[in-house]
Structure 1
Amino acid sequence: MKPVFANSAWVKAPEKLILRGGRWKQRYLRVRYGFFIHPKVGPILIDTGYTSHGLSAPGRSAWLRAYGHLLSPKLNLGAQPASFLKRFGLAPKDIKGIIITHFHADHVSGLAGFPNARLIASGVGYSNLQKNSSLKNIRHGIFPELLPFNFSARLEPIEDHSRAAVRQLPDSYDIFKDGSVMAVPLPGHAQGHFGVLFTQNKTPLLYATDTQWLIDALQPSARPQLFPKLISEDYGALCQSADQVAAFHNSGGAVMLCHDDSSTQFDVEEGAQP
């Protein structure tokens, strides 16, 4: 069971904001989402990336339109979920589940296109989203309007799954009850933020989502400070999560991030297959 990742869009960011000691040059960051086929459950997505539907569909709030204008993601039309799935002979209706690593717009904007999927996410994160003021949600890039109207009914909280010890990482939730795919709590970036660990790869792979923007920034000496302090849910927890991911990486585990601009063997553009 091999995960494959597509890049839904490119987003520009000054290197100095996302890498300590970086320059003011622009880095073009990816906005990945993942896909794999579980042998018993079937086709599964990890997040949805940015989609045109999410950012510009009729009726979107002024706040969401402003968010899209501010970040100005350049969509990869050929890597939008429907097009991506088509190359594997699948359609959105065939997706059995979506693992939602957190509720930022660049991870949930396409959820409405998958009406048959169960939604696997942090129940705590979802509860907090509902309790937050509109201003707090907007400040952290969370727009409840992007969630399907029946999200609550389709939600499968990761917290309902059993936990198991994982080397170098926090105790993690066994998503499919077979130890193959684990939801790894990585707090700090956002409420309910977690990574996804594939334990059965020859080299275990941790998709650490938004623990940092760049792989290089996982190391303490290269971590940005000011920008994460401004936008993170909990900067102290973010640093602790980065320490854990770095320890996993340094011990021989493979690590991927959503926004790192380097290509990997798991990116579909590099020929990866599920």
Structure 2
Amino acid sequence: MTIELLKVGHCFHPEAVVIRGGSWRAQQFPAIVALLKHPSQGYMLFDTGYAKHFIQATTPFPQRLYRWVTPMHLCDKENLLHQLAQRGIAPEDIKHIFISHFHADHIAGLLDFPQARYICSKVALQSVMQRSGIRGLLKGYLPALLPTDFSARVSFIEDCPARPLAVELAMFGAGYDVFGDGAYIAVALPGHAYGHYGLLCSQQQNTFFLIGDACWTQQALISATKPHPLASIILSDKTQYYDTIDKLARLYGVSQQLTIIPAHCQSSYDQFLCSQR
């Protein structure tokens, strides 16, 4: 099994919203996608990051507010399809896409993979379906980014076999074995969005914990720093989110064999690239 991290665009946001006490100047936050290769299931993506579809979906009002609050940039060389093509991977080679949650910066590329199967939380999908217009927008949802045949190609994390986690991960409850072979274990990381999940995956002797937006930066892991109260607007449950950050911070402090990767942390991305050289 292999894992590779790809930076698929970035957004601009005041650092102080993400890290309480930070600067109010706008900072870049990358959208990090994981390209996974399973020996029998083939290629799988963990999220898709940004795509040009995001621009189209945020052209009308009120959806345009999403783009105003978190302006995004995606150059051609960071386009996910371009990066995959450089590796000799065609869209149809992506067999599965694991969706950590349905915020637009994590699913904007779904439409580019018309043959992929989707793996997500049933709770997460229900949340999207139950919220439209302003109610959905306030929770970071852009339904226009979902393929029209999404329901025909989706399978749910909750239907996967439940597995006990290692001792240091036991505080997160049970995991869900995505392919039934122990290769990828989905772990509930609640609070940021309804049905938010991370993914445990291995490469040789290393184990990586892809945590999506369960926390935004490595700094939050080091110091258990909470975001500014303004960030609560988009959260599904602030209390759960803070509890998840605390658990991840404890895990970060004790685990020597596990690399935790937030989806928007430049430091984590840079350190991963260095470790692969």
User: Given the two structures, how large is their TM-score scaled by the length of structure 2?
Assistant: 0.90
Is the alpha carbon distance of 1:140 and 1:261 closer, same or farther for their aligned partners in structure 2, counting shifts above 3 Å? same
Identity %: 32
Deviates more, 1:249-258 or 1:128-137: 128-137
Residues in 2 aligned to 1:272 and 1:200: alpha-carbon distance in whole angstroms: 11
Structure 2 equivalent of residue 235 of structure 1: 238
Q: Work out whether residues 12 and 29 of structure 1, in 8 Å CA contact, stay in contact via their aligned partners in 2.
A: yes
Q: Does 1:260 align with 2:265?
A: yes
User: Given the two structures, how large is their TM-score scaled by the length of structure 1?
Assistant: 0.91
How big is each residue's C-alpha offset from its partner over 1:104-125, in whole Å with a ceiling of 9 and x where there is no partner? 0001111111011000111111
Cα displacement (A) at 1:60: 5.4
Residues in 2 aligned to 1:21 and 1:221: alpha-carbon distance in whole angstroms: 13
Cα displacement (A) at 1:228: 2.8
Q: Does 1:208 align with 2:214?
A: no
Is the alpha carbon distance of 1:201 and 1:172 closer, same or farther for their aligned partners in structure 2, counting shifts above 3 Å? farther
- Secondary structure of the structure 1 residue equivalent to 2:243: helix
How big is each residue's C-alpha offset from its partner over 1:235-263, in whole Å with a ceiling of 9 and x where there is no partner? 01111111222222212221011111213
Q: Higher relative contact order by CA 8 Å / sep ≥ 6: 1 or 2?
A: 1
Q: Work out whether residues 55 and 109 of structure 1, in 8 Å CA contact, stay in contact via their aligned partners in 2.
A: no
Cα displacement (A) at 1:186: 0.4
Q: Work out whether residues 20 and 226 of structure 2, in 8 Å CA contact, stay in contact via their aligned partners in 1.
A: yes
Cα displacement (A) at 1:211: 1.1
How big is each residue's C-alpha offset from its partner over 1:94-145, in whole Å with a ceiling of 9 and x where there is no partner? 1101001100000111111101100011111111221224322110110111
Residues in 1 aligned to 2:105 and 2:54: alpha-carbon distance in whole angstroms: 9
Structure 1 portions without partners, runs of 5+: none
Structure 2 equivalent of residue 21 of structure 1: 21
Residues in 2 aligned to 1:200 and 1:165: alpha-carbon distance in whole angstroms: 20
- Secondary structure of the structure 2 residue equivalent to 1:36: strand
One-letter identity of the residue aligned with 1:114: F
How big is each residue's C-alpha offset from its partner over 1:187-221, in whole Å with a ceiling of 9 and x where there is no partner? 10001111111145523211111012111113565
Structure 2 equivalent of residue 148 of structure 1: 147
Is the alpha carbon distance of 1:30 and 1:18 closer, same or farther for their aligned partners in structure 2, counting shifts above 3 Å? same
Q: Work out whether residues 20 and 221 of structure 1, in 8 Å CA contact, stay in contact via their aligned partners in 2.
A: no
Residues in 1 aligned to 2:208 and 2:250: alpha-carbon distance in whole angstroms: 13
- Secondary structure of the structure 2 residue equivalent to 1:266: helix
Q: Work out whether residues 2 and 38 of structure 2, in 8 Å CA contact, stay in contact via their aligned partners in 1.
A: no
Residues in 2 aligned to 1:53 and 1:233: alpha-carbon distance in whole angstroms: 25
Cα displacement (A) at 1:229: 2.2
Q: Does 1:53 align with 2:59?
A: no
Is the alpha carbon distance of 1:215 and 1:232 closer, same or farther for their aligned partners in structure 2, counting shifts above 3 Å? same
Residues in 1 aligned to 2:75 and 2:175: alpha-carbon distance in whole angstroms: 33
Deviates more, 1:95-104 or 1:80-89: 80-89
Is the alpha carbon distance of 1:91 and 1:150 closer, same or farther for their aligned partners in structure 2, counting shifts above 3 Å? same
Deviates more, 1:200-209 or 1:106-115: 200-209
Structure 1 equivalent of residue 62 of structure 2: 63
Cα displacement (A) at 1:56: 2.4
Is the alpha carbon distance of 1:243 and 1:271 closer, same or farther for their aligned partners in structure 2, counting shifts above 3 Å? closer
Is the alpha carbon distance of 1:181 and 1:228 closer, same or farther for their aligned partners in structure 2, counting shifts above 3 Å? same
Residues in 1 aligned to 2:199 and 2:180: alpha-carbon distance in whole angstroms: 14
Residues in 2 aligned to 1:89 and 1:75: alpha-carbon distance in whole angstroms: 21
One-letter identity of the residue aligned with 2:263: C
Residues in 2 aligned to 1:265 and 1:22: alpha-carbon distance in whole angstroms: 22
- Secondary structure of the structure 1 residue equivalent to 2:32: strand
Q: How many residues align?
A: 270
Deviates more, 1:219-228 or 1:99-108: 219-228
Within a 5 Å distance, the mapping from 1:73-112 to structure 2 comes to: 73-112=72-111
Q: Work out whether residues 21 and 222 of structure 1, in 8 Å CA contact, stay in contact via their aligned partners in 2.
A: no
Q: Does 1:173 align with 2:172?
A: no
Structure 2 equivalent of residue 186 of structure 1: 189
Q: Work out whether residues 207 and 255 of structure 1, in 8 Å CA contact, stay in contact via their aligned partners in 2.
A: yes
Cα displacement (A) at 1:33: 1.1
Within a 5 Å distance, the mapping from 1:30-41 to structure 2 comes to: 30-41=30-41
